[in-house]
Amino acid sequence: MTESYWAGLCYCYDVSDLPQTNNDLEHISGSGRYHERRAIGRKQASPGLVIRDAVRTVASVASQRYHFHGPELQPRDLTQWRTLRHQVESRHEASREQYRFRKALVEYLAALEEKLCQQTMQS
């Protein structure tokens, strides 16, 4: 039956280290969440996992398959590394803003209004 499928559809069976099913992919990403929950004692994923998941998952999978040494861990493309760091920092800042909004709504809105007033006065 599989002979009628598109040639590249089952490519995962031709490459030895490539996960072969969605369950395998889910296991790879889920194991990171499992270990974090177990390490910090939370039932749900921590907010940091949501912010850094793209970086952590890749690092976790890569380190399971290969043991890296010092020089190999240095970024090769500094522009790409800085872009990634900026994206992670932007997600951190959005998370911090949400926390400030939830914990001190009146103060947060007053500071935001003050900032807006200063910007309109400068214009």
63 and 12 within one domain = yes
Residue ranges for the chain with pLDDT beneath 70:
1-14, 17-25, 28-29, 45-51, 53-54, 123
93 and 67 within one domain = no
18 and 6 within one domain = yes
Number of domains in the chain: 2
pLDDT value at residue 19: 62
pLDDT value at residue 34: 75
CB burial readout 16-43, b (16+ within 10 A) else e: eeeeeeeeeeeeeeeebbeebeeeeeee
3-state secondary structure of 53: helix
Domain that holds residue 116: 75-123
123 and 84 within one domain = yes
85 and 64 within one domain = no
116 and 104 within one domain = yes
pLDDT value at residue 21: 65
- How far is Cα 52 from Cα 46, in angstroms, rounded to an integer? 10
R_g of the chain computed on alpha carbons: 22
pLDDT value at residue 49: 65
pLDDT value at residue 24: 67
102 and 55 within one domain = no
- Predicted TM-score of the model (pTM): 0.49
87 and 68 within one domain = no
